[in-house]
Chains A and B, each alone.
Chain A
C-alpha cells in the first residue's frame, strides 16, 4: 500500500469519531471519584468525630494538601495525554503540595516539643494508611490509565506516574477522613509513601497500557 492509498483509506474513515479528550477526562474524573468513594465507604468510612474535627487546622490541612495534589496532578496528566500539549508550566504546580507539607511540618516542629516528634510521626495506624491509600487508589489509577490510553502520551512513564499521583491524592483525601493521625509529621511520611507507591505502579504500567 502506498502512502496515497493509505490517505484515501483514512479519509474514508473520517466519519468515525472518537470521544474528545475533555469528555474522556471528565468521565474518568467522575468515575474515579465514585469508585474511590465506594471503596472508602465500604472498607473504612469516616471517623466518628470527622465533622467536629473540621475545626482543627491539622485535620483540615490533610484535605488541603491532598486536594492540592489532585488538582495540580490532574491538570498535568491531561496536558501530558496530548502530543505537544506542553506540561512544562504545569509541572511547577506539582511543587505546591510538597511545599505546603514542608511549611506544615516546620510549623508542627515549632509547635510540638521534640520529645513528641517521633510519637506523632509513627502515629497509631501507619500500616492501615499504607494499606488503604493504595487500595482506595487502585481503581482510580486504572481509570486514569485508560484515559491515557485513549489519549496519546509522548512521555508514557511520566504520564503514568502523574496519573498515580492523581489517584493517590484522591485516595489520600478520602482516607484522611478516616485516619486518626492528623500531625503533618505523619502525613508527610506515610501519606507520601503510599502515594509514591501508586505513582510507581502508574509509571510501570502506563508504557504497557497506554501504548499507541
Chain B
C-alpha cells in the first residue's frame, strides 16, 4: 500500500466513523470490520509468544473504541487514535499477565501497510457473556450471536425497544470492564 492509498484509507475510515457517530449502523459495522483487521494484524505482530491471545486484544480494543468513540475528534485522523487505543490495551493485557513490554511506535507505519485479510479466528469467548447478568446476557446474545435486530429482540423477550437498547449498552460496558479484570 503506498502513501496515496493510506490517505484514501484514512479518508474512508473517517467518513465511515462520522456516519456511524451520526447513527448509521451499516457504516459502523463496516468501520469496525476494517478496524478489526488492522488491529488484528497489529496485535499478531506485537504478540510473538504466548500468554496473550491476539483476538482477545482485538475484541478489547473494539469495545474500547466503541465505548470511547466520543474521544475521536471529527476532524482528526482515525488511525493514530485507533493505534493509541490498541497500544494502551495491549500494554494493559501484558501487564495483567505480569510482563514488561516495550512497544516500538515506529513499527506502526509498517503494520499500517499490511492489513491482515485472514478471516476471524473462530474462538469462542462465551465466558465474556457468562459474566453478564441474565437479562443482559440474553439480550446481548440474541443480537450478537443470533444476529437479531433490536425490534426482533424486543418482541422475543416481550421488552420495550428502549429497554433492549439499555440492556445491550450496559452489557457491552460490562464485558469491557470484565476484560480489564481477567
Interface residues of A (CB under 8 A from B): 1-21, 81-85, 150-152, 154, 211-212
Q: Is the CB of B64 within 8 A of A8?
A: no
Q: Is the CB of B81 within 8 A of A83?
A: yes
**B65-93 interface bits toward A, Cβ cutoff 8 Å, 1 = contact, 0 = none:** 01110111100110011011101100000
Where chain A touches its partner, the secondary structure class is: loop
Q: Which parts of B118-159 form the interface with A (CB within 8 Å)?
A: 120-126, 128-129, 140-141, 143-145, 147, 149-150
With A7-B62, A83-B81 known to touch, is A14 a contact of B20 (CB < 8 Å)? Answer: yes
Q: Is the CB of A84 within 8 A of B80?
A: yes
Q: What are the 6 closest A-B residue pairs judged by CB atoms, nearest first?
A: A84-B84, A83-B84, A5-B144, A9-B144, A11-B29, A84-B80
Q: Which residues of A contact B33 (CB under 8 A)?
A: 7
Looking across the interface, which residue of chain B has its beta carbon closest to that of A23? B70
Is B14 positioned at the interface, with any CB of A under 8 Å from its CB? no
Q: Is the CB of A10 within 8 A of B71?
A: no
| Distance in angstroms between the alpha carbons of A1 and B171 in the assembled complex | 13
Interface residues on B, range: 35 or more
Interface residues of B (CB under 8 A from A): 20-21, 23-26, 28-29, 32-33, 36, 55, 58-59, 62-64, 66-68, 70-73, 76-77, 80-81, 83-85, 87-88, 120-126, 128-129, 140-141, 143-145, 147, 149-150, 165, 168-169, 171-172, 176, 180
In the complex, the number of residue pairs spanning A and B with C-beta atoms less than 8 Å apart equals 122
Q: Is the CB of A16 within 8 A of B58?
A: no
Q: Is the CB of A18 within 8 A of B70?
A: yes
Q: Which residues of A contact B144 (CB under 8 A)?
A: 1, 5-6, 8-9
Q: Is the CB of A7 within 8 A of B172?
A: no
Looking across the interface, which residue of chain B has its beta carbon closest to that of A156? B88
Beyond the given pairs A152-B85, A154-B88, 9 more chain A to chain B contacts, judged by CB atoms under 8 angstroms and listed by A's residue number, are: A2-B120, A6-B62, A7-B33, A13-B169, A14-B24, A18-B70, A82-B81, A83-B81, A212-B67
